[in-house]
Chains A and B, each alone.
Chain A
Amino acid sequence: MNTNFIRLLCYFILLILMQDMVVDKLPLGTYIRPEIYTLFILLLPFNYPPISMLGWAFALGLGIDIFSMDIIGLHTAALLVLAYVRPRLLKLVSPKDDMESIATPSYHNLGWRSFIIYVMLSIAIYNTVLFILDTFSFHNFFHMLLRIISSTLATTFFIILIQVAFISKRR
């Protein structure tokens, strides 16, 4: 448990730094922001305790808020929602017996179709909360919708890319 915690802490720091130092510096324009740090919540093991997951989400959100110099609480609130709905989404896309597994969700154990649906749905929910809080009005609804869709697609693409390139090879 302890080594597992330290391993997660390393990922945690690495993802925040990657987001701030690399991904946010990509010249992608105002509509697209790949949020690779959501990977942390999405790829926790199937059976990870929900309350611990909420704790991680809270810490990760604060870290991102502070590091991206955004409004404090913005990413925190959105990530908490993501962490809360994650078990329900997993239940939706995976067979029941997987939920007891210590494995992490991947295209190996979920299959490509279910994995992409899982990632995309999660990120869509996350982005919806994030952008509604960020805009704090429905004034430019179409504008906001466009940002939600483009960022969701970009984030899904990046997360699958990272999983294929780095994470699944190790296993």
Chain B
Amino acid sequence: MDNLFRFLIGIRVLLSFVILEVIALLLFTASSYYQQSVVVSKLHSIRGSLHEQVTHFAQYLDLRETNAMLAAENTALHNELACYRFVHSTSPGTVTNHAGAPLFNYIPANITDNSVNKQHNYIMLDAGAADHVAPDMGVVTQNGVIGIVMAVTEHYAIVKSLLHTDWRCNVRLVHAGDFGPLQWDGLTYNEAVLHDIPQHSNVQTGDTVVTSGYSSIFPPDIPVGVVKSYEIKRGNFYEIRIRLFADFKKIRHVNIVSFLYRHEVNTLNELRDEY
């Protein structure tokens, strides 16, 4: 018996190793059972909350990168939203005739060529006759009037820019309520001049200028710019400098305004001229 004890003490390390190893291997082979035990699942939930903290911390480390990515995405979405908002706020449904039928249709287009550094600037668009674009249609963005279609080919249109010293667009002062032609004076690309506002009109700096709607080219109430300064010229009329909302250097996407009853209006105008 003594010998047996001595022997066991002699191999006690090996013995404990074998016992523990057998336990480990038993756990290993019956693992799926222990995985589901309460203790293990409790430990897993503790581990889960620890991991959450670590992930929170790790997220701080790449905040800068995430920020840059989100900012880029934000810009893209902003641009997209601006387009939708414009289409929505001035959608055909909002400008209707007395019977509630839409008066205007919009054709989206991208600018393929543009200039702001000449006195007679033109814009090329990637929409043409195939997209039902026709001469004398208005071109707008959410920031205002861009120009008027001069000529079209099958897939392209050439537009006379607002920055064209020979072209006039009829606009209205929102607070004063007076109408007049807006014309570019050829000085800077973000300012134009409103003529023919009578002296008795209540002109104020900061007043908004919108399209008048007195034409079959532009829908009414598209914002164009704000009054920057004004002075009396040629006796009885104000000459008002307007700061334009549209940044002609940056515009990329525009909408072409199609007046749905333009043929009827043209026919009437021709009849009038005949009489």
- Does B265 lie at the interface of the complex (its beta carbon under 8 Å from any beta carbon of A)? no
Which of the listed residues A20, A25, A77 has the most CB atoms from chain B within 10 Å of its own CB? A77
Contact B25 A66 (CB under 8 A): no
Q: Which of chain B's residues have a CB closer than 8 A to the CB of A105?
A: none
- Does B47 lie at the interface of the complex (its beta carbon under 8 Å from any beta carbon of A)? yes
Contact A80 B44 (CB under 8 A): no
Chain B interface mostly: helix
- Among residues 128 to 164 in chain A, which have CB atoms less than 8 Å away from a CB atom of chain B? 133
Q: Within the complex, which residue of A51, A57, A66, A83 is in contact with B44, where a contact is CB–CB below 8 Å?
A: A66
Q: Which of chain B's residues have a CB closer than 8 A to the CB of A77?
A: 21, 24-25, 28
Q: Which of chain B's residues have a CB closer than 8 A to the CB of A74?
A: 28, 31
Q: Which of chain B's residues have a CB closer than 8 A to the CB of A133?
A: 28
- Among residues 71 to 108 in chain A, which have CB atoms less than 8 Å away from a CB atom of chain B? 71-74, 76-77, 80-81, 83-84
Q: Which of chain B's residues have a CB closer than 8 A to the CB of A67?
A: 43, 47
Contact A51 B13 (CB under 8 A): yes
- Does B50 lie at the interface of the complex (its beta carbon under 8 Å from any beta carbon of A)? yes
Contact B13 A84 (CB under 8 A): yes
Given contacts A66-B40, A69-B44, A133-B28, contact A54 B16 (CB under 8 A): yes
Instruction: Give the residue name and chain of the A residue nearest to B17 (CB).
Output: A84
Interface string of A39-80 (1 = CB under 8 A from B): 000000000001100110110010000110101111011001
- Does B232 lie at the interface of the complex (its beta carbon under 8 Å from any beta carbon of A)? no
Q: Which of chain B's residues have a CB closer than 8 A to the CB of A57?
A: 20
Chain A interface mostly: helix
Report the count of interface residues on A (CB-CB < 8 A): 25
Instruction: Give the residue name and chain of the B residue nearest to A77 (CB).
Output: B24
A-B contacts counted at CB < 8 A amount to 67
- Does B84 lie at the interface of the complex (its beta carbon under 8 Å from any beta carbon of A)? no
Q: Which of chain A's residues have a CB closer than 8 A to the CB of B17?
A: 54, 80, 83-84
Q: Within the complex, which residue of A25, A51, A73 is in contact with B28, where a contact is CB–CB below 8 Å?
A: A73
Bound-state CA distance A77–B21 (Å) is 6
Q: Within the complex, which residue of A21, A51, A73 is in contact with B24, where a contact is CB–CB below 8 Å?
A: A73
Given contacts A51-B12, A58-B20, A80-B21, contact A73 B26 (CB under 8 A): yes
Given contacts A20-B47, A80-B21, contact A73 B16 (CB under 8 A): no
- Does B54 lie at the interface of the complex (its beta carbon under 8 Å from any beta carbon of A)? yes
Instruction: Give the residue name and chain of the B residue nearest to A21 (CB).
Output: B54
Interface string of B1-37 (1 = CB under 8 A from A): 0000000000011101100110111111101001100
Bound-state CA distance A50–B58 (Å) is 40
A96 to chain B: closest CB distance in Å? 19
Instruction: Give the residue name and chain of the B residue nearest to A61 (CB).
Output: B24
Bound-state CA distance A51–B11 (Å) is 11
Q: Which of chain A's residues have a CB closer than 8 A to the CB of B16?
A: 51, 54
Bound-state CA distance A75–B131 (Å) is 70
Instruction: Give the residue name and chain of the B residue nearest to A70 (CB).
Output: B31
Bound-state CA distance A69–B28 (Å) is 13
Instruction: Give the residue name and chain of the A residue nearest to B14 (CB).
Output: A84
Known: A61-B24, A74-B28. 20 other contacts (CB 8 A): A20-B47, A21-B50, A21-B51, A51-B12, A51-B16, A54-B16, A54-B17, A58-B23, A66-B47, A67-B47, A69-B47, A72-B28, A73-B29, A76-B20, A77-B21, A77-B25, A77-B28, A81-B21, A84-B14, A84-B17
**Chain B contacts to A: CB under 8 angstroms:** 12-14, 16-17, 20-21, 23-29, 31, 34-35, 40, 43-44, 47, 50-51, 54, 58
Q: List 16 A-B contacts (CB under 8 A).
A: A21-B50, A54-B17, A55-B20, A58-B24, A66-B43, A66-B47, A71-B31, A72-B27, A72-B28, A73-B25, A73-B26, A74-B28, A77-B25, A77-B28, A80-B17, A84-B13
Closest 3 CB pairs of A and B: A73-B28, A73-B27, A76-B24
**Chain A contacts to B: CB under 8 angstroms:** 17, 20-21, 25, 50-51, 54-55, 57-58, 61, 66-67, 69, 71-74, 76-77, 80-81, 83-84, 133
